[in-house]
Amino acid sequence: MELPRLAISAAEYAERRAAVLAALDGAAAVVFAGTESPSPPAGRWKTDRLFWYLTGLDHEAGAAVVFDPAAEDPKRQITLYLRARDPETERWDGARDPVGLALRQKTGFTTIKRTGYLPGALTDAARRSKRLACLHPFASYTAEISPDLEIFRKIGERIPGVAIEDRTQILPAMRAVKSPAEVALIERAVAATVAGYEAVFGFIRPGVGERAIAETLTAGFRALGGEPAFEPIVGSGPNGTVLHYVDNDAVVSAGDLVVIDYAAAYGGYASDVTRTLPASGVFKPEQREIYEIVLAANLAAIAASRPGATFTDVDAAARAVIDAAGYEDAFIHGTGHSIGIEVHDVTPDGPLRPGMVITVEPGIYLPDRGFGVRIEDDVLITETANRNLTATLPKTVAAIEQAMARR
């Protein structure tokens, strides 16, 4: 049975924009969609994820949202700017909507203008407020300057007395705490991920290729309306000790462990799951010993994932288990990260808060023994503790061996 489609409503996007306007406390700001590369990327170009979070628009190169709290007309305090229509380009990329009532209703913006008006609008906003707030994340000194800071500096050269403020934590703090609609989308992504893994439990055996395993997962995702959230990692035997192994071109051998780090996205929201499975359906004693250590670390870190805790606390809980077992040097990465619009989603400063969704993914990697183990779950922080969104996916030794026994 086909499940009903889920999506973020135009009203929720509007609520996000209103929250940003209030948080700016009188300062003007802009969020840019980004500019499409002249060379077509692999797949369709997408807007900057901050812009998408505020608008839901994914293919509008050159667009921007301007926040102008000092505008006299309240309808012009938040304005969407879109590039002009180009009939020749639309022959290639598809028709774009004209600016009018239908587009305003579709996007939830009360005011939409073309980007030709953008320089004047930002100049006027700066003149009125004398304060410009950076919302895009700052770049390291080896990278290009963030787009809003670059423009604000130019404006400051033309309007004396304009202050530039760091408000780069506003949007990460908002994005990190998921609304019920966002959690529902992540849960749908998890459901698609589970479908993929259930197919793989019955598929993995000695002699199959790593790429075939990835393709089986992908088919399972799509059967429930999901799409791959990132490039698959399917590492058998020693390949499972390589964290970002993406070749996926080996054949699974008898006795291998297969580390699978692959998951689905749905409606613009990602899941991120890892399971480690025995190719022959049963863990060998040495493999089982290491697996049980990683599982204990996974469970300890999940227990530590609660409001007020930090990522450092979560990492320490997992690391304490692995260190005590004598494998400190074999755990070579952090224990988790935020998840949402991006697989490695923005993470604001400060502790975990209710509504955040994080991954918990400890691992032990033993190249000299020819195998690695990683176990990753997606965890929603609740008011008092947490909820494991991927709890239905087998991860104990007994549950995995039982699931694979049905082959």
Verify that 155 and 211 share a domain, yes or no: no
Q: What is the pLDDT of residue 40?
A: 57
Pair 105, 198 in one domain: no
Between CA 267 and CA 270, with CA 268 as vertex, the angle to 5 degrees is 105
**Residues 22 and 117 placed together within one structural domain of the fold:** yes
Bridge partners, 374 (sequence order): 363
Are 14 and 114 contained in the same domain? yes
pLDDT at residue 150 in the model: 97
Phi first, then psi: give them for residue 102, nearest 5 degrees. Answer: -60, -40
Q: How many domains does the chain have?
A: 2
pLDDT at 61: 92
In order, the DSSP letters of 86-148 are: -HHHHHHH---PPSSHHHHHHH--S-EEEGGGHHHHHHHHHHHHSEEEE-SPPPPTTSPPPHH
The confidence score (pLDDT) of residue 94 equals 86
Assess whether 230 and 125 both reside in one domain.
Answer: no
Q: What is the CA radius of gyration of the chain?
A: 24
Task: Give the mean pLDDT per block of 10 residues along the chain (407 residues).
Answer: 83 97 98 80 81 95 97 96 92 89 94 97 96 97 96 96 97 97 98 97 97 98 97 98 96 98 98 98 98 98 98 98 98 97 95 98 98 98 98 98 90
Q: Are residues 159 and 193 in the same domain?
A: no
Q: For residues 175 and 399, give the distance between their C-alpha atoms in angstroms, rounded to a whole number.
A: 35
Which of the listed residues 128, 158, 175 is the one where a domain comes to its end?
Answer: 175
Residue 286 shares a structural domain with residue 256 = yes
Give SS3 for 216. Answer: helix
Confidence (pLDDT) at 44: 77
Q: Supply the pLDDT for residue 315.
A: 98
Strand, coil or helix: 277? strand
Q: Is 360 helix (H, G, I), strand (E, B) or coil?
A: strand
Tell me, yes or no, whether 223 lies in a domain.
Answer: yes
Residues 43 and 77 in one domain: yes
Q: What is the pLDDT of residue 36?
A: 77
The Cα–Cα gap between 303 and 111 comes to 47
Same domain, 135 and 181: no
What CATH code is carried by the domain that includes residue 285? 3.90.230.10
Residue 23 lies in a domain: yes
Q: Does some domain include residue 218?
A: yes
Which of residues 137, 159, 175 is at a domain's end? 175
The answer to whether 233 and 246 have CB atoms below 8 angstroms apart is yes
State the greatest distance between any 2 C-alpha atoms of the chain, in Å, as a whole number: 73
Residue 342 CB-density burial (10 A; 0-12 exposed, 13-18 middle, 19+ buried): middle
* Claim to verify: residue 148 and residue 253 sit in the same structural domain: no
Residues recorded for the chain: 407
Asked if residue 5 is part of any domain, the answer here is no
Element (H, E) at 287: helix 285-304
Range of the domain at 344: 177-404
Give the end of a domain, one of 119, 147, 175.
175
